[in-house]
């Protein structure tokens, strides 16, 4: 989350300065850092989940449930920073509606629909937990597609601006 907030501010500042290449590099670097940290923390949590739960909870049944949940969700937790970093990078550039809709549709509507279907059919904590990585993946995919599309638009706009400035200079000569 903190890296997402940082890239949002960074993107906003650099967008105002017209530094689109810098935004792209900053977003990429933030994403790589976030993915690395998430992968490490997920692995530690998977290996030492029981001990980590025991720091806060003493009931063996609750610890067992928690371990079953992280066994399903944490291998896929690296999907989460993708939508967070890319979405915040876009929001910093003033593109707020599409990231909001991508998150709303996937993390609220699709997840709710999945849970509405999963719970009566399986009654398993692992099945309920599986709804999370599924919707993280869908959200990450949606954010990647939108981010790439916006990058292409910006690249085309930059080329047009460059061509227009060259043609206006040649017309003055």
Listed by start position, the domains of the chain span 2-172
Contact assessment for residue 50 and residue 82, using Cβ atoms and an 8 Å cutoff: no
| pLDDT, tens digit (0-9, with 9 covering 90-100), for 83-105 | 999 999 999 999 999 999 999 99
56 has a pLDDT exceeding 60: yes
Q: How far apart are CA 87 and CA 147, in angstroms?
A: 8
- Per DSSP, helices labelled H in the chain are 2-16, 20-54, 60-73, 80-92, 97-103, 111-122, 125-172
Instruction: Give tens-digit pLDDT for 112-149.
Output: 999 999 999 998 999 999 999 999 999 999 999 999 99
Q: Round to whole Å and give the CA distance between 131 and 14.
A: 36
Tokens of 66: 């928690």
Q: Whole-model pTM? A: 0.87
- Nearest-CA neighbor of 35 among 72, 76, 7, 87? 76
pLDDT interval class at 173 (50, 70, 90): low
What's residue 18's pLDDT?
86
Q: Let me know the angle formed at the C-alpha of 15 by 12 and 18, rounded to the nearest 5 degrees.
A: 155
Neighbours of 110 (CB within 10 A): 16
Distance linking the first and last C-alpha atoms of the chain: 52
Q: Which residues of 83-108 are buried (b: 16+ CB within 10 A; e: fewer)?
A: bbbbbbbbbbbebeebbeebbeebbe
Among residues 91, 73, 93, 47, which one has the least CA distance to residue 134?
Answer: 73
């Amino acid at each position: 989350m903190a890296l997402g907030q940082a890239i949002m501010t960074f993107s906003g500042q650099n967008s105002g300065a017209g530094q689109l290449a810098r935004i792209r590099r900053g977003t990429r670097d933030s994403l790589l850092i976030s993915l690395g940290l998430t992968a490490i923390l997920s692995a530690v949590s998977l290996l030492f989940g029981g001990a980590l739960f025991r720091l806060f909870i003493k009931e063996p049944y609750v610890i067992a449930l928690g371990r079953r949940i992280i066994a399903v969700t944490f291998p896929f937790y690296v999907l989460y920073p993708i939508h967070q970093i890319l979405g915040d990078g876009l929001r910093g550039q003033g593109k707020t509606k599409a990231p909001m809709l991508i998150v709303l549709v996937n993390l609220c509507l699709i997840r709710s629909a999945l849970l509405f279907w999963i719970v009566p059919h399986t009654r398993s904590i692992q099945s309920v937990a599986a709804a999370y990585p599924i919707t993280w993946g869908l959200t990450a995919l949606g954010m990647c597609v939108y981010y790439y599309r916006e990058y292409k638009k910006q690249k085309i706009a930059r080329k047009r601006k460059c061509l227009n400035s060259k043609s206006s200079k040649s017309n003055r000569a």
